[in-house]
């Protein structure tokens, strides 16, 4: 069974630009969550999608948004990038009930 796939692995963007990250969950998993990892703040929850609907959202500004497609693939978008958005962005998928989440390898975003 293929794991959670995130693309691209690395990305360099300039302040003010926008970026879109992609996540393909494990086959059959309908829940996709996104996390931001930074050295200072650790792993922080961004949002979760289930069957194309956002069910939960963390404490991030509106510049961070996402969506989920009918095949459960998810995208995350960050607009008007700031230097502080430099981080490892992780996607996790699960079947949708409480339980374990399988993480992808992440996308390393660097904003210059």
**Residues in contact with other proteins by the rule CB under 8 A:** 4, 6, 31-33, 35, 42-45, 47-50, 55-56, 58, 88, 90, 92, 94, 98-106, 108
Of residues 16 and 28, the one with the C-beta less far from other proteins: 28
Which C-beta is closer to other proteins: that of 15 or that of 57? 57
**Alpha helices, DSSP H only, in 39-107?**
none
Least distance (Å) between residue 106 CB and other proteins: 5
Nearer to other proteins, 18 or 86 (CB): 86
Is there a contact between 74 and 21 (Cβ–Cβ < 8 Å)?
A: no
Rounded least distance, CB 55 to other proteins, Å: 4
**Least distance CB 7 / other proteins (angstroms):** 13
8 A C-beta contact, residue 37 and residue 87: yes
- Least distance in angstroms from the C-beta of 77 to other proteins: 18
Which of these, 57, 60, 38, lies nearest to 111 by C-alpha position?
38
What whole-number distance in Å separates Cα of residue 43 and Cα of residue 65?
A: 17
Tokens 């963390």 correspond to: 58
């Amino acid at each position: 069974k293929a794991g959670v796939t995130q693309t691209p692995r690395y990305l360099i963007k300039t302040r003010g630009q926008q970026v879109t990250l992609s996540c393909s969950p494990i086959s059959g998993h309908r829940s996709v969550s996104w996390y931001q990892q930074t050295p200072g703040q650790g792993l922080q929850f961004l949002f979760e999608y289930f069957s194309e609907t956002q069910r939960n959202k963390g404490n991030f500004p509106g510049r961070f948004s996402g969506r989920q497609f009918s095949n459960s693939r998810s995208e995350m978008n960050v607009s008007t990038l700031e230097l502080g958005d430099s981080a490892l962005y992780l996607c996790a998928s699960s079947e949708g009930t409480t339980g374990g989440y399988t993480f992808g390898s992440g996308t390393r975003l660097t904003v210059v």
